[in-house]
Amino acid sequence: MATIDPFAAISDPNRRHLLEELRRAPRTVNELAEGLPISRPAVSQHLKALLDSNLVSVTAEGTKRIYSVNTKGFTKLNLWLDQFWS
């Protein structure tokens, strides 16, 4: 699995939208695609980038894959941003 810089991952507005939706509740790709003007395969590609940057995690429930925010993945972002407030 390739690791993507989390800052690069959140630079895309569609990915930020996905993160905002996942912050509210875990969701499937189909549920997430309902709120975006892009295709379900495009949503899956954006989720893969978020997975590869460790900002999102996925669990399987039967045939469904449920995506949620991985709060531990935001540590790198928080550490970098916190230096501006110290």
Please report, for the domain that includes residue 16, its CATH number. Answer: 1.10.10.10
Q: Give the C-alpha separation, 55 to 70, whole Å.
A: 5
Q: Does residue 18 belong to any structural domain of this protein?
A: yes
Residue 1 confidence (pLDDT) above 60: no
Q: Give the C-alpha separation, 81 to 85, whole Å.
A: 8
E-strand spans in 1-86? 56-61, 64-69
Question: Which structural domain range is residue 43 located in?
Answer: 6-82
| pLDDT tens for each residue of 54-84 | 999 999 999 999 999 999 989 888 988 999 9
- Whole-model pTM: value is 0.88
